[in-house]
C-alpha cells in the first residue's frame, strides 16, 4: 500500500467520525441558534405566516422589562448556590468515601447517585409534596416540635421562594459530581498520603496539600458544567415547582422565555431572551475560566 492510499484511508477514517457529529451539531445546535437570532429581529406570534421586521426593538423592550432583570438575578443566584452547595457536599462525600475505610462505601455511592437517574420532572413533583403546606414532609417534621400543626406555605413567599428551589437542585446534582471527584481521588497514588502521614500531616492538611490540588482540574470542569446546565436548564424544575411565581419572584430566563413564546405568543421577544441566555453563558464561561485559572498539578 503506497503512502497516498494510506493517507486517504486515514482521512476517510477520521471524517467518518467527524462528519456525522458535525452534521448533528449543525442541525440541532447551530441552525436553531441562527434561527433564534433571526426571529429576534421580528415581531412574530410564532403562529402567523407573516413577520414584521422591527430591528432591535425586542432587545430594547427586553432590557426595559423589570422581569428579565429579576430572571437574570435568579439564574445567577441558582448558579452560585448550586456551585457552593453541590461542590462542597460532593467533595465532602467523595473524600469521606475514598479516604476513610467505610465498609458500605459502594452502597452509599449508589444511594447518592439515585437522584441522577430520576427525571427532573419527578424530582420537582417530589419536592412539591415535601413542601406541601398540608401534607408535606417538611411541615409534618416541624410539627413534631410544636404544639400546633405547622402549615407554612414554603413556595408561597415572593421574597423567599427562590431559596426553596436550591435544596432540590443541589440534592439532584450531588451524586454525579461526587462520582467524578471519587474517580479523580482514586487516581492519586497512595504513596503521596503515606509520605504525608509519615511527616505528621493529618487528614485535613492532606486534603489541602494533596487531594485538592490534584483534583482541581476535575473541580473546574464540574463548576463550569454546573454553571452551564443551570443557566440553560433551570427551566424544568422551576416551572414544575412554581411556574415562575409567586408574582414572578422565581422567574429564570428559561421560564420567562417559555412564558413569552408559548403563553403570550411573543415569539420574537422570546427569541431575544434565548440569544441573551447564549451570550451570558459564553461570557460567564470565559469569566469563570479566568477566575479559576491555576497551574495544573501533575502526578509525578
Whose CA is closest to 79, among 226, 225, 220?
226
Q: For 47-90, what is each residue's pLDDT tens digit?
A: 888 889 999 999 999 999 999 999 999 999 999 999 999 999 99
Given pLDDT bands bounded at 50, 70 and 90, which one contains residue 298?
low
What's the mean pLDDT when you consider all of the chain?
Answer: 89
Q: Which of 36-40, 114-118, 262-266, 277-281 has the lowest mean pLDDT?
A: 114-118
Average pLDDT for 242-271? 92
Q: What is this structure's pTM? A: 0.89
Residue 1 pLDDT greater than 70, yes or no: no
Q: What percent of the chain has pLDDT over 70?
A: 96
**Residue 111: Cβ-neighbour burial (10 angstroms; 0-12, 13-18, 19+):** exposed
Residue 295 pLDDT greater than 60, yes or no: no
What is the rounded distance in angstroms from the CA atom of residue 241 to the CA atom of residue 229?
Answer: 18
The SS3 assignment for 145 reads coil
Name 57's Cβ contacts closer than 8 Å, sequence gap at least 6: 43
The SS3 assignment for 48 reads coil
Return the pLDDT at 124.
92
Contacts made by residues 81-86, CB under 8 angstroms, sequence distance 24+:
81/166, 81/169, 81/170, 82/166, 82/169, 82/170, 82/173, 82/226, 82/230, 83/223, 83/226, 83/227, 85/166, 85/170, 86/170, 86/173, 86/174, 86/177, 86/222, 86/226
Backbone angles phi, psi at 42, to 5 degrees: -125, 155
Average pLDDT for 2-23? 82
Return the pLDDT at 82.
95
Amino acid at each position: 500500500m503506497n503512502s497516498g492510499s494510506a493517507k486517504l484511508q486515514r482521512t476517510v477514517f477520521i471524517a467518518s467520525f467527524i462528519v456525522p457529529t458535525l452534521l448533528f451539531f449543525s442541525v440541532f445546535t447551530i441552525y436553531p441558534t441562527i434561527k433564534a437570532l433571526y426571529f429576534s429581529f421580528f415581531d412574530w406570534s410564532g403562529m402567523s405566516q407573516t413577520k414584521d421586521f422591527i430591528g432591535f426593538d425586542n432587545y430594547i423592550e427586553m432590557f426595559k422589562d423589570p422581569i428579565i432583570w429579576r430572571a437574570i438575578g435568579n439564574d445567577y443566584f441558582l448558579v452560585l448556590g448550586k456551585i457552593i452547595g453541590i461542590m462542597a457536599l460532593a467533595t465532602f462525600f467523595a473524600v469521606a468515601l475514598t479516604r476513610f475505610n467505610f465498609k458500605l462505601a459502594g452502597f452509599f455511592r449508589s444511594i447518592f447517585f439515585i437522584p441522577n437517574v430520576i427525571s427532573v420532572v419527578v424530582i420537582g413533583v417530589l419536592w412539591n409534596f415535601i413542601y406541601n403546606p398540608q401534607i408535606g414532609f417538611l411541615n409534618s417534621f416541624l410539627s413534631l416540635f410544636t404544639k400546633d400543626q405547622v402549615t407554612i406555605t414554603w413556595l408561597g413567599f415572593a421574597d423567599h421562594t427562590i431559596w426553596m428551589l436550591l435544596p432540590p437542585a443541589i440534592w439532584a446534582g450531588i451524586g454525579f459530581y461526587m462520582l467524578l471527584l471519587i474517580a479523580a481521588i482514586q487516581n492519586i497514588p497512595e504513596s503521596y498520603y503515606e509520605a504525608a502521614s509519615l511527616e505528621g500531616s493529618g487528614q485535613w492538611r492532606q486534603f489541602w496539600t494533596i487531594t485538592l490540588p490534584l483534583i482541581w482540574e476535575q473541580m473546574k470542569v464540574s463548576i463550569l458544567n454546573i454553571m452551564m446546565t443551570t443557566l440553560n436548564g433551570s427551566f424544568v424544575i422551576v416551572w414544575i415547582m412554581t411556574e415562575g411565581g409567586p408574582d414572578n419572584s422565581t422567574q429564570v430566563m428559561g421560564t420567562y422565555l417559555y412564558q413569552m413564546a408559548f403563553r403570550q405568543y411573543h415569539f420574537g421577544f422570546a427569541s431575544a431572551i434565548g440569544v441573551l441566555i447564549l451570550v451570558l453563558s459564553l461570557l460567564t464561561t470565559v469569566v469563570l475560566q479566568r477566575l479559576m485559572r491555576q497551574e495544573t498539578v501533575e502526578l509525578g
